[in-house]
Amino acid sequence: MSYVFYGWWDWRFLLLIFASSLIDFILGSAISKSREKNLRRVYLSLSILFNLGCLGLFKYYNFFIESFVEMTAAFGLQANVTSLSLILPVGISFYTFQTLSYTIDVYRKQIDAVKDPVVFFAFVSFLPQLVAGPIERARNLIPQFQGQKIFDYDKAVNGMRLILWGLFKKVVIADGAALAVERIFSNYESMSVAYLALGAILFAVQIYGDFSGYSDIAIGVAALLGFNLMVNFKTPYFSRDISEFWRRWHISLSTWFRDYLYIPIGGNRGTMLKVVRNTFVIFLVSGFWHGANWTYIFWGGLNALYFLPLLLANRNRKHLDTVAENRYLPSMKEILQMTFTFVLVCFAWIFFRAESLSHAFGYIQGFWANPLWESKLVISVHYFYMLGVFLLIEWLIREKGFSATVADSSVFLRRCTYTMLFLCIVFFGVFNGSEFIYFQF
Protein backbone atom coordinates (compact mmCIF):
# COMPACT_ATOMS: atom_id res chain seq x y z
CA MET A 1 0.00 0.00 0.00
CA SER A 2 2.82 2.45 0.86
CA TYR A 3 4.49 1.80 -2.48
CA VAL A 4 1.20 2.40 -4.34
CA PHE A 5 0.82 5.69 -2.45
CA TYR A 6 4.37 6.77 -3.28
CA GLY A 7 4.18 5.58 -6.90
CA TRP A 8 0.96 7.55 -7.39
CA TRP A 9 3.07 10.73 -7.24
CA ASP A 10 5.78 9.48 -9.63
CA TRP A 11 6.30 5.75 -10.22
CA ARG A 12 9.88 6.28 -11.44
CA PHE A 13 11.10 7.02 -7.91
CA LEU A 14 9.85 3.70 -6.60
CA LEU A 15 13.12 2.26 -7.86
CA LEU A 16 15.10 4.71 -5.72
CA ILE A 17 13.30 3.98 -2.46
CA PHE A 18 13.40 0.25 -3.25
CA ALA A 19 17.15 0.38 -3.89
CA SER A 20 17.74 2.45 -0.75
CA SER A 21 15.75 -0.03 1.34
CA LEU A 22 17.41 -3.09 -0.22
CA ILE A 23 20.97 -1.82 0.20
CA ASP A 24 20.46 -0.80 3.83
CA PHE A 25 18.71 -4.11 4.56
CA ILE A 26 21.70 -6.02 3.14
CA LEU A 27 24.31 -3.79 4.81
CA GLY A 28 22.46 -3.91 8.14
CA SER A 29 22.54 -7.72 8.03
CA ALA A 30 26.22 -7.68 7.05
CA ILE A 31 27.08 -5.34 9.96
CA SER A 32 25.19 -7.55 12.37
CA LYS A 33 26.87 -10.78 11.22
CA SER A 34 30.41 -9.43 11.01
CA ARG A 35 32.74 -9.90 13.98
CA GLU A 36 35.57 -7.73 12.64
CA LYS A 37 35.35 -4.10 13.68
CA ASN A 38 37.05 -2.80 10.55
CA LEU A 39 34.69 -4.73 8.30
CA ARG A 40 31.70 -3.42 10.22
CA ARG A 41 33.02 0.10 9.64
CA VAL A 42 33.35 -0.58 5.93
CA TYR A 43 29.72 -1.73 5.72
CA LEU A 44 28.55 1.29 7.69
CA SER A 45 30.62 3.62 5.48
CA LEU A 46 29.03 2.08 2.38
CA SER A 47 25.57 2.72 3.81
CA ILE A 48 26.42 6.34 4.65
CA LEU A 49 28.05 6.93 1.26
CA PHE A 50 25.12 5.47 -0.65
CA ASN A 51 22.43 7.37 1.26
CA LEU A 52 24.24 10.69 1.34
CA GLY A 53 25.28 10.15 -2.29
CA CYS A 54 21.64 9.82 -3.40
CA LEU A 55 20.70 12.86 -1.31
CA GLY A 56 23.62 14.83 -2.74
CA LEU A 57 22.82 13.93 -6.32
CA PHE A 58 19.10 14.71 -6.26
CA LYS A 59 19.06 17.59 -3.80
CA TYR A 60 22.45 19.34 -3.80
CA TYR A 61 24.24 18.59 -7.08
CA ASN A 62 22.98 21.67 -8.94
CA PHE A 63 23.54 23.87 -5.87
CA PHE A 64 27.22 22.92 -5.71
CA ILE A 65 27.64 23.30 -9.47
CA GLU A 66 26.00 26.74 -9.55
CA SER A 67 27.96 27.89 -6.49
CA PHE A 68 31.19 26.71 -8.13
CA VAL A 69 30.38 28.57 -11.36
CA GLU A 70 29.56 31.75 -9.43
CA MET A 71 32.77 31.47 -7.41
CA THR A 72 34.97 31.03 -10.48
CA ALA A 73 33.15 33.90 -12.19
CA ALA A 74 34.06 36.13 -9.25
CA PHE A 75 37.74 35.49 -10.10
CA GLY A 76 37.15 36.25 -13.79
CA LEU A 77 37.13 32.58 -14.82
CA GLN A 78 34.49 30.70 -16.77
CA ALA A 79 33.69 27.14 -15.74
CA ASN A 80 31.85 24.98 -18.25
CA VAL A 81 30.04 22.59 -15.94
CA THR A 82 26.61 21.23 -16.82
CA SER A 83 23.81 21.16 -14.29
CA LEU A 84 21.24 18.35 -14.25
CA SER A 85 17.48 18.54 -14.72
CA LEU A 86 16.51 16.39 -11.76
CA ILE A 87 13.21 16.24 -9.92
CA LEU A 88 13.66 16.06 -6.17
CA PRO A 89 11.99 12.82 -5.01
CA VAL A 90 9.36 13.60 -2.40
CA GLY A 91 10.41 12.50 1.08
CA ILE A 92 14.01 11.59 0.17
CA SER A 93 15.44 13.67 3.05
CA PHE A 94 13.15 11.91 5.52
CA TYR A 95 13.47 8.26 4.50
CA THR A 96 17.23 8.66 3.90
CA PHE A 97 17.73 9.77 7.51
CA GLN A 98 15.43 7.00 8.71
CA THR A 99 17.43 4.27 6.97
CA LEU A 100 20.72 5.85 8.06
CA SER A 101 19.64 5.74 11.70
CA TYR A 102 18.90 2.02 11.24
CA THR A 103 22.36 1.04 10.00
CA ILE A 104 24.07 3.29 12.58
CA ASP A 105 22.02 1.76 15.41
CA VAL A 106 22.85 -1.76 14.16
CA TYR A 107 26.54 -0.78 14.02
CA ARG A 108 26.34 0.55 17.58
CA LYS A 109 24.63 -2.73 18.62
CA GLN A 110 21.66 -0.77 19.95
CA ILE A 111 19.26 -2.86 17.85
CA ASP A 112 19.39 -6.20 16.05
CA ALA A 113 19.33 -6.30 12.26
CA VAL A 114 15.92 -7.03 10.79
CA LYS A 115 15.67 -10.52 9.27
CA ASP A 116 12.35 -10.06 7.47
CA PRO A 117 12.76 -7.86 4.36
CA VAL A 118 9.02 -7.12 4.26
CA VAL A 119 9.20 -5.61 7.75
CA PHE A 120 12.20 -3.49 6.83
CA PHE A 121 10.70 -2.24 3.56
CA ALA A 122 7.49 -1.37 5.41
CA PHE A 123 9.52 0.53 8.03
CA VAL A 124 11.24 2.67 5.38
CA SER A 125 8.11 3.37 3.33
CA PHE A 126 5.45 3.58 6.07
CA LEU A 127 2.70 5.56 4.36
CA PRO A 128 1.65 8.10 7.06
CA GLN A 129 5.14 9.51 7.65
CA LEU A 130 6.91 8.65 4.38
CA VAL A 131 6.98 12.05 2.69
CA ALA A 132 7.46 14.48 5.61
CA GLY A 133 8.12 12.58 8.81
CA PRO A 134 8.22 12.40 11.75
CA ILE A 135 11.62 10.75 11.18
CA GLU A 136 11.10 7.57 13.17
CA ARG A 137 13.77 5.49 14.86
CA ALA A 138 14.05 1.84 13.94
CA ARG A 139 13.90 0.78 17.59
CA ASN A 140 10.46 2.38 17.91
CA LEU A 141 8.79 1.58 14.59
CA ILE A 142 10.16 -1.81 13.48
CA PRO A 143 8.87 -3.77 16.53
CA GLN A 144 5.39 -2.43 15.78
CA PHE A 145 5.45 -4.17 12.37
CA GLN A 146 6.46 -7.44 13.97
CA GLY A 147 3.60 -7.72 16.45
CA GLN A 148 -0.02 -8.65 15.75
CA LYS A 149 -2.32 -5.68 15.15
CA ILE A 150 -5.59 -5.54 17.10
CA PHE A 151 -8.02 -2.68 16.65
CA ASP A 152 -7.76 -0.31 19.61
CA TYR A 153 -10.84 1.92 19.89
CA ASP A 154 -9.24 4.50 22.21
CA LYS A 155 -6.16 4.78 20.02
CA ALA A 156 -8.33 5.20 16.93
CA VAL A 157 -10.36 7.97 18.63
CA ASN A 158 -7.13 9.75 19.60
CA GLY A 159 -6.01 9.43 15.99
CA MET A 160 -9.24 10.96 14.70
CA ARG A 161 -8.86 13.88 17.12
CA LEU A 162 -5.33 14.55 15.85
CA ILE A 163 -6.46 14.36 12.21
CA LEU A 164 -9.21 16.93 12.90
CA TRP A 165 -6.78 19.24 14.73
CA GLY A 166 -4.15 18.81 12.03
CA LEU A 167 -6.65 19.62 9.27
CA PHE A 168 -7.69 22.78 11.10
CA LYS A 169 -4.06 23.87 11.40
CA LYS A 170 -3.36 23.14 7.74
CA VAL A 171 -6.39 24.40 5.78
CA VAL A 172 -7.56 27.18 8.14
CA ILE A 173 -4.42 28.53 9.82
CA ALA A 174 -1.55 27.74 7.42
CA ASP A 175 -3.31 28.04 4.06
CA GLY A 176 -5.32 31.01 5.34
CA ALA A 177 -2.05 32.89 5.90
CA ALA A 178 -0.30 31.65 2.75
CA LEU A 179 -1.74 34.16 0.26
CA ALA A 180 -0.98 37.14 2.51
CA VAL A 181 2.56 35.90 3.13
CA GLU A 182 3.13 35.45 -0.59
CA ARG A 183 1.81 38.93 -1.36
CA ILE A 184 3.91 40.64 1.34
CA PHE A 185 7.15 38.80 0.55
CA SER A 186 6.71 39.29 -3.23
CA ASN A 187 6.03 43.03 -2.88
CA TYR A 188 8.21 43.87 0.12
CA GLU A 189 9.60 47.01 -1.55
CA SER A 190 6.17 48.69 -1.43
CA MET A 191 5.05 47.33 1.95
CA SER A 192 5.01 49.46 5.10
CA VAL A 193 6.96 48.44 8.21
CA ALA A 194 3.77 47.22 9.85
CA TYR A 195 3.04 44.89 6.94
CA LEU A 196 6.61 43.63 6.79
CA ALA A 197 6.30 42.69 10.46
CA LEU A 198 2.92 41.13 9.75
CA GLY A 199 4.43 39.10 6.90
CA ALA A 200 7.15 37.67 9.13
CA ILE A 201 4.64 36.81 11.87
CA LEU A 202 2.17 35.25 9.45
CA PHE A 203 4.91 33.12 7.92
CA ALA A 204 5.83 31.89 11.40
CA VAL A 205 2.17 30.93 11.84
CA GLN A 206 1.95 29.43 8.36
CA ILE A 207 4.97 27.16 8.59
CA TYR A 208 4.01 25.97 12.07
CA GLY A 209 0.40 25.32 11.10
CA ASP A 210 1.50 23.60 7.90
CA PHE A 211 4.19 21.32 9.28
CA SER A 212 2.73 20.55 12.71
CA GLY A 213 -0.64 20.04 10.99
CA TYR A 214 0.93 17.46 8.69
CA SER A 215 2.66 15.78 11.65
CA ASP A 216 -0.60 15.54 13.60
CA ILE A 217 -2.40 14.07 10.59
CA ALA A 218 0.44 11.56 10.07
CA ILE A 219 0.41 10.54 13.74
CA GLY A 220 -3.39 10.32 13.65
CA VAL A 221 -3.46 8.12 10.52
CA ALA A 222 -0.77 5.88 12.02
CA ALA A 223 -2.85 5.57 15.20
CA LEU A 224 -5.85 4.43 13.11
CA LEU A 225 -3.60 1.69 11.71
CA GLY A 226 -2.51 0.76 15.24
CA PHE A 227 0.93 2.42 15.22
CA ASN A 228 2.51 4.95 17.59
CA LEU A 229 4.67 7.70 16.05
CA MET A 230 6.74 10.15 18.05
CA VAL A 231 5.42 13.64 18.83
CA ASN A 232 7.04 16.17 16.51
CA PHE A 233 5.92 19.51 17.98
CA LYS A 234 5.14 20.71 21.51
CA THR A 235 3.70 24.24 21.20
CA PRO A 236 7.12 25.73 20.31
CA TYR A 237 5.98 29.36 20.13
CA PHE A 238 5.38 29.34 23.90
CA SER A 239 9.11 28.81 24.49
CA ARG A 240 10.96 31.08 26.91
CA ASP A 241 14.31 30.92 25.13
CA ILE A 242 15.70 29.62 21.84
CA SER A 243 17.02 26.45 23.45
CA GLU A 244 13.52 25.51 24.62
CA PHE A 245 12.20 26.36 21.15
CA TRP A 246 14.52 23.79 19.57
CA ARG A 247 13.43 21.14 22.08
CA ARG A 248 9.84 21.72 20.93
CA TRP A 249 10.24 22.30 17.16
CA HIS A 250 10.58 19.41 14.67
CA ILE A 251 11.64 17.14 17.52
CA SER A 252 12.30 14.08 15.35
CA LEU A 253 14.90 15.97 13.26
CA SER A 254 16.46 17.87 16.20
CA THR A 255 16.98 14.66 18.19
CA TRP A 256 18.29 12.90 15.05
CA PHE A 257 21.02 15.52 14.64
CA ARG A 258 21.73 15.41 18.37
CA ASP A 259 22.16 11.61 18.47
CA TYR A 260 23.88 11.01 15.11
CA LEU A 261 25.91 14.18 14.59
CA TYR A 262 26.26 16.49 17.60
CA ILE A 263 27.19 13.91 20.24
CA PRO A 264 29.51 11.87 17.93
CA ILE A 265 31.57 14.98 17.07
CA GLY A 266 31.94 15.86 20.75
CA GLY A 267 28.72 17.65 21.77
CA ASN A 268 29.35 20.12 24.56
CA ARG A 269 32.48 18.31 25.71
CA GLY A 270 36.00 19.64 25.20
CA THR A 271 37.35 23.14 24.86
CA MET A 272 35.21 26.21 24.37
CA LEU A 273 36.37 26.39 20.75
CA LYS A 274 35.18 22.84 20.08
CA VAL A 275 31.80 23.49 21.70
CA VAL A 276 31.33 26.57 19.48
CA ARG A 277 32.40 24.56 16.42
CA ASN A 278 30.03 21.70 17.22
CA THR A 279 27.12 24.06 17.76
CA PHE A 280 27.67 25.75 14.41
CA VAL A 281 28.12 22.41 12.66
CA ILE A 282 24.78 21.04 13.81
CA PHE A 283 22.82 24.20 13.02
CA LEU A 284 24.47 24.78 9.64
CA VAL A 285 23.93 21.14 8.61
CA SER A 286 20.35 21.35 9.86
CA GLY A 287 19.81 24.45 7.73
CA PHE A 288 21.41 22.78 4.69
CA TRP A 289 19.22 19.71 5.20
CA HIS A 290 16.18 21.89 4.53
CA GLY A 291 17.26 22.89 1.06
CA ALA A 292 20.01 23.69 -1.42
CA ASN A 293 19.97 27.43 -0.91
CA TRP A 294 22.23 29.83 1.00
CA THR A 295 19.15 31.20 2.76
CA TYR A 296 18.72 27.93 4.70
CA ILE A 297 22.41 27.87 5.64
CA PHE A 298 22.19 31.48 6.85
CA TRP A 299 19.03 30.59 8.79
CA GLY A 300 20.91 27.74 10.46
CA GLY A 301 23.89 29.96 11.29
CA LEU A 302 21.62 32.62 12.75
CA ASN A 303 20.00 30.07 15.05
CA ALA A 304 23.47 28.93 16.14
CA LEU A 305 24.25 32.54 17.11
CA TYR A 306 20.99 32.67 19.07
CA PHE A 307 21.77 29.38 20.83
CA LEU A 308 25.44 29.91 21.62
CA PRO A 309 25.14 32.41 24.52
CA LEU A 310 22.75 30.07 26.35
CA LEU A 311 25.11 27.12 25.85
CA LEU A 312 28.23 28.99 26.93
CA ALA A 313 26.46 30.36 30.00
CA ASN A 314 25.21 26.84 30.78
CA ARG A 315 21.60 28.08 30.63
CA ASN A 316 20.50 26.01 27.64
CA ARG A 317 18.58 23.53 29.81
CA LYS A 318 17.01 26.05 32.15
CA HIS A 319 13.44 25.70 30.82
CA LEU A 320 12.76 21.96 30.74
CA ASP A 321 9.22 22.30 32.07
CA THR A 322 6.18 23.84 30.38
CA VAL A 323 5.55 27.55 30.70
CA ALA A 324 2.97 28.49 33.36
CA GLU A 325 2.73 24.87 34.45
CA ASN A 326 -0.42 24.23 36.53
CA ARG A 327 -1.43 27.86 36.02
CA TYR A 328 -3.92 29.43 33.65
CA LEU A 329 -1.85 32.49 32.85
CA PRO A 330 1.88 33.21 32.48
CA SER A 331 3.73 35.77 34.59
CA MET A 332 4.82 39.07 33.09
CA LYS A 333 8.40 37.76 32.99
CA GLU A 334 7.29 34.69 31.02
CA ILE A 335 5.30 36.85 28.60
CA LEU A 336 8.39 38.97 27.93
CA GLN A 337 10.57 35.85 27.51
CA MET A 338 8.11 34.26 25.06
CA THR A 339 7.73 37.50 23.11
CA PHE A 340 11.49 37.99 22.82
CA THR A 341 12.00 34.39 21.68
CA PHE A 342 9.17 34.69 19.14
CA VAL A 343 10.69 37.89 17.70
CA LEU A 344 14.06 36.14 17.29
CA VAL A 345 12.40 33.17 15.59
CA CYS A 346 10.35 35.40 13.26
CA PHE A 347 13.47 37.33 12.25
CA ALA A 348 15.22 34.07 11.34
CA TRP A 349 12.14 32.85 9.44
CA ILE A 350 12.61 35.78 7.01
CA PHE A 351 15.74 34.05 5.67
CA PHE A 352 13.96 30.69 5.57
CA ARG A 353 11.07 32.14 3.52
CA ALA A 354 13.09 34.41 1.22
CA GLU A 355 14.05 33.18 -2.23
CA SER A 356 17.64 34.44 -1.92
CA LEU A 357 19.89 36.24 0.54
CA SER A 358 19.45 39.52 -1.36
CA HIS A 359 15.68 39.06 -1.07
CA ALA A 360 15.99 38.51 2.70
CA PHE A 361 18.28 41.49 3.28
CA GLY A 362 16.06 43.67 1.06
CA TYR A 363 13.07 42.63 3.16
CA ILE A 364 14.92 43.50 6.40
CA GLN A 365 16.14 46.81 4.95
CA GLY A 366 12.49 47.74 4.41
CA PHE A 367 12.02 47.93 8.20
CA TRP A 368 13.85 51.27 8.28
CA ALA A 369 13.52 52.38 4.64
CA ASN A 370 9.78 51.94 4.10
CA PRO A 371 6.95 54.04 5.62
CA LEU A 372 5.70 52.95 9.01
CA TRP A 373 2.08 52.44 8.00
CA GLU A 374 0.06 52.28 4.82
CA SER A 375 -3.34 50.67 4.77
CA LYS A 376 -3.55 47.68 2.42
CA LEU A 377 -5.94 44.78 2.55
CA VAL A 378 -3.78 41.65 2.54
CA ILE A 379 -5.84 39.32 4.71
CA SER A 380 -9.46 39.19 5.83
CA VAL A 381 -10.49 40.10 9.36
CA HIS A 382 -12.09 36.70 10.04
CA TYR A 383 -8.65 35.10 9.72
CA PHE A 384 -7.60 36.86 12.93
CA TYR A 385 -10.64 35.37 14.70
CA MET A 386 -9.44 31.94 13.57
CA LEU A 387 -5.94 32.83 14.75
CA GLY A 388 -7.39 33.75 18.16
CA VAL A 389 -9.14 30.36 18.37
CA PHE A 390 -5.92 28.63 17.36
CA LEU A 391 -3.78 30.44 19.96
CA LEU A 392 -6.32 29.81 22.72
CA ILE A 393 -6.38 26.06 21.99
CA GLU A 394 -2.57 25.94 21.69
CA TRP A 395 -2.28 27.56 25.12
CA LEU A 396 -4.78 25.17 26.72
CA ILE A 397 -3.07 22.05 25.30
CA ARG A 398 0.52 23.12 26.00
CA GLU A 399 1.02 20.62 28.86
CA LYS A 400 -0.64 17.42 27.61
CA GLY A 401 -1.15 17.91 23.88
CA PHE A 402 -4.42 18.19 21.96
CA SER A 403 -5.74 14.64 22.11
CA ALA A 404 -5.08 14.02 25.82
CA THR A 405 -6.44 17.45 26.82
CA VAL A 406 -9.66 16.91 24.87
CA ALA A 407 -9.97 13.35 26.19
CA ASP A 408 -9.81 14.65 29.79
CA SER A 409 -12.53 17.24 29.24
CA SER A 410 -16.29 16.72 29.67
CA VAL A 411 -18.40 15.10 26.96
CA PHE A 412 -20.14 18.42 26.29
CA LEU A 413 -16.83 20.28 25.88
CA ARG A 414 -15.44 17.55 23.63
CA ARG A 415 -18.45 17.73 21.33
CA CYS A 416 -18.29 21.53 21.26
CA THR A 417 -14.60 21.34 20.30
CA TYR A 418 -15.21 18.83 17.50
CA THR A 419 -18.16 20.84 16.15
CA MET A 420 -16.32 24.14 16.28
CA LEU A 421 -13.23 22.79 14.50
CA PHE A 422 -15.34 21.04 11.88
CA LEU A 423 -17.35 24.19 11.13
CA CYS A 424 -14.19 26.31 11.00
CA ILE A 425 -12.69 23.90 8.46
CA VAL A 426 -15.87 23.90 6.33
CA PHE A 427 -16.50 27.66 6.35
CA PHE A 428 -13.01 29.14 6.71
CA GLY A 429 -10.76 26.46 5.25
CA VAL A 430 -8.78 27.17 2.07
CA PHE A 431 -9.11 24.28 -0.36
CA ASN A 432 -6.90 25.30 -3.26
CA GLY A 433 -4.82 22.14 -3.41
CA SER A 434 -1.71 23.73 -1.91
CA GLU A 435 0.97 21.23 -0.92
CA PHE A 436 2.58 20.95 2.48
CA ILE A 437 5.70 23.17 2.70
CA TYR A 438 7.93 20.34 3.94
CA PHE A 439 7.16 18.18 0.88
CA GLN A 440 9.88 20.19 -0.92
CA PHE A 441 12.48 19.11 1.64
The letter for the amino acid at 29 is: S
Looking at 290, 319, 359, 382, which residue is catalytic?
290
Residues 153 and 224: their CA atoms lie apart, in Å, by: 9
CA dist., res. 73 & res. 88, Å (int): 27
- Element containing residue 3 per DSSP (H, E): helix 2-9
| Alpha carbon distance 363, 108 (integer Å) | 46
* CA nearest to 211, candidates 243, 250, 248, 176: 250
Q: Please name the residues in contact with 98: beta carbons below 8 A apart, sequence gap of 6 or more.
A: 123, 124, 135, 136, 138
C-alpha distances in Å from residue 186, one per residue of 96, 170, 191, 409: 33, 22, 10, 44
Cβ–Cβ under 8 Å, residues 46 and 38: no
Residue 298's identity, in one-letter code, is F
How many other CB atoms are there within 10 angstroms of residue 222's CB atom? 23
Let me know if 290 is a catalytic residue.
Answer: yes
Work out the angle at residue 170's Cα, subtended by the Cα atoms of residues 168 and 171, and round it to the nearest 5 degrees.
Answer: 75
In angstroms, rounded to a whole number, what is the distance separating the alpha carbons of residues 189 and 168?
32
The count of other CB atoms within 10 Å of the CB of residue 127 is 17
Q: What angle separates helix 14-33 from helix 37-55, to the nearest 10 degrees?
A: 170
Contact present, 10 and 87 (Cβ < 8 Å) = yes
Give catalytic residue positions: 290
